[in-house]
Amino acid sequence: MGTATAGKSSGERTAWHNWAGNITATPARVVTPASVGELQEAVRRAAEDGLRVKAVGTGHSFTAAAATDGVLVRPQALAGIRSIDRAAGTVTVAAGTVLKDLNVALAREGLSLTNMGDIMEQTVSGATSTGTHGTGRDSASIAAQIRGLELVTADGRLLTCSEKEEPEVFAAARLGIGALGIVTAITFAVEPIFFLTAREEPMGFDRVTAEFEEHFAENEHFEFYWFPHTGNCNTKRNNRSQGPAAPPGPVSAWIEDELLSNGLFQAVNSLGRAVPATIPSIARVASRALSARTYTDIPYKVFTSPRRVRFVEMEYALPRERVVEALRELRAMVDRSGLRISFPVEVRTAPADDITLSTASGRDTAYIAVHMYKGTPYQGYFTAAERIFTAHGGRPHWGKVHTRDAQYFAEVFPRFGEFTALRDRLDPDRVFGNDYLRRVLGD
């Protein structure tokens, strides 16, 4: 995955923007290092020039976590599997590796991650640094599957960490929001490839919320979507099975994944943006269009799906026991407001983990994600939703829209001070700083 500009910096200033188009930055220079050594040199040179440095993956974050007016590092040339240790059950990959490429390469080797999010377009370092997660009763986020990390620090040093080596850095850097250094390689825990059977089934809002704990306890991976302006939900349960693979037939897959989830969904969202009054009717039809189906395949083909309809998203992590109450409040708020919401609300879970700034740090967690179609005003909806989520002690996803600051994070993350103290030690001059980090971590 090399590039003609590997190791070089482009002279003219060009704007960078994220996938959703809601964040733009104009860096002083863009660097595409072809080796870790070139990356170290780029960091040293930036520090000498008094410029800040940020690495950017594929731009799938909705926050300005990677935005900079200094040096923008594109790690795409630092890609691919470095090594596989079958005895230890680990794989070490370069930081610019895209999750899709990793999943395909692992499957070829008869291996798989234990859990993953619902898309795989991000780089491994971008996904883990912002806390990308799927849903799981026992298996946690992608960052929680990390067993070792290598990163370039503010003085250009290469630092490796694990549970045994630099454990306090390891506790924080697995989800570092780009504040502690630029990740160059990640060692993930992997396991022999397995089959998952997915069962998708429409279910009423009242039933799914009343039975939420039951569904959570009975399934390895449970999630559901609620369609605002309706009492309808779609549930998905993924559980391990003996196989064999029985993927959806080509027609069924096209109808569900392409027509309903992408093509038709794009069309109805465009209509809803143009004529908001049509949204409740569209929602009632759309929420009934998805039918029950069951299929079996290898993990990444079940966990992930294509997402081509562009949107803006906010997601909060709540203590699991608070999620049903918060969701009912969200529904009541939408029903009494004049808001018109064309995107479903997504609910997922994660077990407690031991990562300093993980949204599931130290507590069993459930997530509520709200979305709005790209180009529609989202502030009113997100502000009202955020008011509900914060009242329940919610922690916002680091890569999704939110308005919280360091003062709030110090209240909801018991180990927040641990992270900021480590940042002071590793990057006292804020070489890796930007406006977003100043807001969420303080100065």
pLDDT of residue 5: 38
**Among candidates 399, 204, 201, which has minimal Cα distance to 315?**
399
Write out pLDDT tens, residues 51-73: 999 999 999 998 999 999 999 99
Cβ proximity of 243 and 297 under 8 Å: no
Write out pLDDT tens, residues 325-377: 999 999 999 999 999 998 899 999 999 999 999 999 999 999 999 999 888 89
Mean pLDDT lowest among 14-23, 47-56, 427-436: 14-23
pLDDT (mean) for 243-249: 88
**Among candidates 69, 54, 61, 65, which has minimal Cα distance to 152?**
54
Q: Tokens 């005895």 label which residue?
A: 87
**Among candidates 37, 29, 35, which has minimal Cα distance to 73?**
29
pLDDT (mean) for 171-184: 98
Close Cβ partners of 104 (under 8 Å, ≥ 6 residues apart): 300
More confident residue, 268 or 229: 229
pTM of the model: 0.92
Share of the chain above pLDDT 70, in %: 93
Kindly give the residue spans of alpha helices, DSSP state H, lying in 81-224.
99-108, 124-130, 167-173, 205-210, 212-218
Measured CA to CA, the distance from residue 178 to residue 163 in angstroms comes to 20
pLDDT of residue 140: 96
pLDDT (mean) for 6-35: 82
Write out pLDDT tens, residues 186-214: 999 999 999 999 999 999 999 999 999 99
Mark 139-164 as b/e (b = at least 16 C-beta within 10 Å): bbbbbbbbbbbbbbbbbbeebebeee
Kindly give the residue spans of alpha helices, DSSP state H, lying in 165-225.
167-173, 205-210, 212-218
pLDDT of residue 8: 46
**Among candidates 395, 404, 399, 441, which has minimal Cα distance to 420?**
441
- DSSP letters along 247-298, please? PPPHHHHIIIIIIIIIIHHHHHHHHHHH-GGGHHHHHHHHHHH---EEEEE-
Whether pLDDT at 91 is above 60: yes
Q: Tell me the torsion sign for CA atoms 400, 406, 408, 410.
A: positive
- Taking the CA atoms of the chain, what radius of gyration do you get in angstroms? 21
Measured CA to CA, the distance from residue 372 to residue 345 in angstroms comes to 10
Q: How far is CA 130 from CA 53, 123, 215, 280, in A?
A: 17, 11, 28, 33
pLDDT interval class at 7 (50, 70, 90): very low
Q: Tokens 């037939």 label which residue?
A: 249
pLDDT (mean) for 242-270: 70
Q: How many residues does the chain have?
A: 443
